[in-house]
């Protein structure tokens, strides 16, 4: 299984919206509604932001939203804030009982 494909970087100004893509195949992203997104600040453990494509865990602001079309999932951050600057990773179930693949990560910069 290959890693999912994410753009290495993304940026936006405070208050703007930014969308990060995550491209896989029909064997992972496209085949199941089990895409998750994580936020990681430097030196910190990752934090779950979105699961099952578009669900938000308790405590995650509704500025974060997820979607999927075909083999590509997307994370949209609306109303960008300075604290949103972090690395973002997508992941997907990839079949075969228990098998998970991550994307390479996207560094989000708030200008």
Partner 1 sequence: EVQLVESGGGLVQPGRSLRLSCAASGFTFDDYAMHWVRQAPGKGLEWVSGISWNSGSIGYADSVKGRFTISRDNAKNSLYLQMNSLRAEDTALYYCAKDTGGWGGGGAFDIWGQGTMVTVSS
Q: Which one, 1 or 72, has the nearer CB to partner 1? A: 1
CA nearest to 60, candidates 75, 43, 44: 75
Q: Which one, 12 or 66, has the nearer CB to partner 1? A: 66
* Cα-to-chain-centroid distance, residue 76: 8
Q: From residue 36 to residue 55, what is the string marking binding to partner 1 with x (rule CB under 8 A)? A: x-x-x----xxxx--xx---
Name the DSSP class of 3.
P
Whole-angstrom distance, CA of residue 35 vs CA of residue 71 = 11
Q: Which one, 13 or 59, has the nearer CB to partner 1? A: 59
Which of residues 21, 30, 34, 56 is near partner 1 by CB under 8 A? 34
């Amino acid at each position: 299984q290959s890693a999912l494909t994410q753009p290495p970087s993304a940026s936006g100004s405070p208050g703007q919206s930014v969308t990060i893509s995550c491209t896989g195949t029909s064997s992972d992203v496209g085949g199941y509604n089990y895409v998750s997104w994580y936020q990681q600040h430097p030196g910190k453990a990752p934090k779950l932001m979105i699961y099952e494509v578009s669900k938000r865990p308790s405590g995650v602001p509704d500025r974060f939203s997820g979607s999927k079309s075909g083999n590509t999932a997307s994370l949209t951050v609306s109303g960008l804030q300075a604290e949103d600057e972090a690395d973002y990773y997508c992941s997907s179930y990839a079949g075969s009982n228990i098998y998970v693949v991550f994307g390479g990560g996207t560094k989000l910069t708030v200008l």
